[in-house]
Chain A
Amino acid sequence: MFDLSGKSALVTGASGGIGGAIARALHTAGAQVALSGTRVEPLEALAGELGERAFVVPCSLADAEATAALPGQAEEAMGGLDILVNNAGLTRDQLAMRMKDEDWQQVLDINLTASFRLSRAVLRGMMKRRWGRIIGITSIVGVTGNPGQTNYAASKAGMIGYSKSLAGEVAARGITVNCIAPGFIETAMTDVLPEAQREKLLTSIPAQRLGRPEDIGTACVYLASEEAAYVTGQTLHVNGGMAMI
């Protein structure tokens, strides 16, 4: 079950905690993986660790042209592109009253617009092959909202909206478009939380632990699999029961 042998996947933000775990999980399931991100060093390190079937394709998603060219580079490296995981994202948290236009715009540009551009760019090949998986890593806050994150929540809710629309457009061509919405996951981002805040956080999670990056990787393998062919336009919440939606 969930064998991705012969499939090729592009993962953005693969230098991060969740992105790295997604790439590892897809690779373990047999897929070739193209690792993208802005920092080459961690990408090279991950590719080295994975060994065969791993390629590094650096890209700045702030650059529209480079973003449009990325799927082509990944396809060239792997000889195909069947799975796109839009994982790259950033935060610029601030109360709405204090939020600068540039903080709003930058988050929307990278999290929402760049992921749409990548999704658009992979469609042609997927339509021809009559098979494709587009997976957007959104966030629980895209559905629930979170004070201090108007920009981030808007970008993540936006991903869910365009994924549903796109899912409807391409479902008849064997392409599924889904989102995964992680709750609180143990990464560099949550490591910096003070102990008291961490304790408080745990009381709101029925599973009584933070999620592991691997929890997201596994969800990704499922949505990328042949077995999930009939699942499209959905958001899979992986949050330990923190929000049951």
Chain B
Amino acid sequence: MTMSDVAERVKKIVVEHLGVEEAKVTEDASFIDDLGADSLDTVELVMAFEEEFGCEIPDDAAEKIVTVKDAIAFIQENA
């Protein structure tokens, strides 16, 4: 998986799950502060990432995924 491939798929999931405009989903965007996610949304996003990339994201790692960039980096390293 290339970096841009992962980024693209992550952003697509974020757009679908949070119902936000694609332009808002920058790599620095925080799910909660910038994209209007609540804590349960972030749990669902992690579930969606796990499914899309066939990986397991443990709870302690999930807690550190705050921005779009964090998600891309974790998946890049672990999927």
Residues of A within 8 A of B (CB): 124, 127-128, 169-170, 172-173
Q: Please measure, in the bound complex, the distance between the C-alpha atom of A169 and the C-alpha atom of B40, giving whole angstroms.
A: 7
A17 to chain B, nearest CB (A): 37
A5 to chain B, nearest CB (A): 28
A127 to chain B, nearest CB (A): 6
Q: Is the CB of A172 within 8 A of B47?
A: no
Q: How large is the interface on B (under 10, 10 to 19, 20 to 34, 35 or more residues)?
A: under 10
Which residues 39-73 in B have Cβ within 8 Å of A in the complex? 40, 44, 47
Residues of B within 8 A of A (CB): 40, 44, 47
Closest to B44 in A: A127
Q: Is the CB of B40 within 8 A of A170?
A: yes
Q: Is the CB of A128 within 8 A of B47?
A: yes
User: Secondary structure of the A side of the interface?
Assistant: helix
What are 8 contact pairs spanning A and B, CB under 8 A? A124-B47, A127-B44, A127-B47, A128-B47, A169-B40, A170-B40, A172-B40, A173-B40
Q: Please measure, in the bound complex, the distance between the C-alpha atom of A127 and the C-alpha atom of B40, giving whole angstroms.
A: 10
Which residues in B have their C-beta under 8 angstroms from that of A124?
47
A67 to chain B, nearest CB (A): 19
Which residues in A have their C-beta under 8 angstroms from that of B40?
169-170, 172-173
A207 to chain B, nearest CB (A): 41
Which residues in B have their C-beta under 8 angstroms from that of A127?
44, 47
